[in-house]
Amino acid sequence: MAFKQILSRALRSRPDQILSSPSAFSAARAFSSAPITATLFPGDGIGPEIAESVKQIFREAEVPIEWEEHYVGTEIDPRTQSFLTWESLESVRRNRVGLKGPMATPIGKGHRSLNLTLRKELNLYANVRPCYSLPGYKTRYDDVNLVTIRENTEGEYSGLEHQVVRGVVESLKIITRQASLRVAEYAFHYAKAHGRERVSAIHKANIMQKTDGLFLKCCREVAEKYPEIKYEEVVIDNCCMMLVKNPALFDVLVMPNLYGDIISDLCAGLIGGLGLTPSCNIGEGGIALAEAVHGSAPDIAGKNLANPTALLLSGVSMLRHLELHDKADRIQKAVLETIAEGKYRTADLGGSSTTSDFTRAICDHL
């Protein structure tokens, strides 16, 4: 029952439903038959193995993507002050789509964290995580089907802290109209593009009246432009309570940075963990960098044990962003069916298959 619903919802977004005018969001390359170049960061630890899985499955599904692989360097590039080179960043800027595996930021000073570098340099302002129960992989929740959209540039994570006097510290939470409008616009655009019915803004404006109040004001302004989509506002503590009692109540959630961090990880927990959760970062000018949000798991690296599901489903998100919906549906269906069947499952899902067995099973299901 849930399986059919999820497939039908996933298959509902057809190219003709997408806004046909080239918008800042879509790459509008659906009709070109030339292969699309996309940047691939395999990452560290289990990154290269699961990236290999993704490439294999995409090849099998005849996805018209050519990968441009980039690796994290071993020296700091002075132009980026990071282990990511200027060329890597330029590659994403040029290709406008990318897929990223788990990266472990090396310990040390004098450089920015890798995720921070990507976010700042590519102006990635929204983190989008589609969260749905995987049929066949049983958690306590069967009917999760929501998308969390998190503002990713400001809010509580502006990094502006200082000591007032000894023993008293302040941290600034910044909310701007520009950033709030930007993420709200994306949230409603996404909802419309993917046939979602409701957008919920999560806040604590009863206490933080000016900051969360401004965020809500911007969401309301955008909501007026989309009368066909229901808009509601939910206080963060109520939201968490509702999520653990009945997650089916939610559809699309749009949130400032901190609440987004908390809620998106909470929802990942509802469906089984970060190893199964796709994620996609949207940047100015329609850049999309999909990424697996789990860790690099160095203890099982190179042992053919890793679960490529998160990176695969993130790749599917990337395909949807590129409006290659047929290919996206095929691959997503194959992944869900393989997991539902239960014959081939990696260790983290309670099975004993290797990465290659799992990958081959998905290819067979294509």
Residues at the contact surface with a second copy, assessed by CB under 8 A: 139-141, 156-157, 159, 161-163, 166-178, 204, 207-211, 213-214, 236-238, 240-245, 258, 261-266, 268-270, 273-274
C-beta closer to a second copy: residue 219 or 243: 243
Cβ 61 to a second copy shortest distance, Å? 31
Residues in the chain: 366
Cβ 259 to a second copy shortest distance, Å? 8
Cβ distance 197 to 145 under 8 Å?
no
C-beta closer to a second copy: residue 268 or 361: 268
Closest CA to 154 of 118, 182, 125, 181: 125
Cβ 366 to a second copy shortest distance, Å? 31
Order the strands of the 252-255 sheet from edge to edge: 65-69, 36-41, 97-100, 287-291, 280-283, 124-132, 145-151, 252-255, 198-203, 230-235
C-beta closer to a second copy: residue 153 or 359: 153
C-beta closer to a second copy: residue 268 or 331: 268
H-helix or E-strand spanning residue 11: none
C-beta closer to a second copy: residue 61 or 276: 276
Output the six-digit token pair for 80: 């980026």
C-beta closer to a second copy: residue 264 or 359: 264
C-beta closer to a second copy: residue 146 or 268: 268
C-beta closer to a second copy: residue 4 or 210: 210
Cβ 279 to a second copy shortest distance, Å? 13
Closest CA to 250 of 265, 230, 222: 230
C-beta closer to a second copy: residue 19 or 241: 241
Cβ 256 to a second copy shortest distance, Å? 11
C-beta closer to a second copy: residue 32 or 178: 178
DSSP 247-289: GGG-SEEEE-HHHHHHHHHHHHHHHT-GGG---EEEEGGGEEE
H-helix or E-strand spanning residue 141: none
Compute the distance between CA of residue 102 and CA of residue 132 in angstroms, rounded to an integer: 21
Closest CA to 127 of 93, 102, 101, 151: 151
Cβ 315 to a second copy shortest distance, Å? 23
Cβ 234 to a second copy shortest distance, Å? 12
Closest CA to 130 of 191, 82, 179, 76: 191
Cβ distance 185 to 211 under 8 Å?
no
Q: Could you tell me the maximum CA-CA distance found in the chain, to the nearest angstrom?
A: 64
Distance spanning both ends of the chain, measured CA to CA: 21
Output the six-digit token pair for 23: 């918008």
Compute the distance between CA of residue 363 and CA of residue 365 in angstroms, rounded to an integer: 5
Cβ 293 to a second copy shortest distance, Å? 10
H-helix or E-strand spanning residue 125: strand 124-132
Cβ 269 to a second copy shortest distance, Å? 4
Q: Within a 10 A sphere around the Cβ of 178, how many other Cβ atoms? A: 10
Compute the distance between CA of residue 248 and CA of residue 200 in angstroms, rounded to an integer: 13
Cβ 354 to a second copy shortest distance, Å? 25
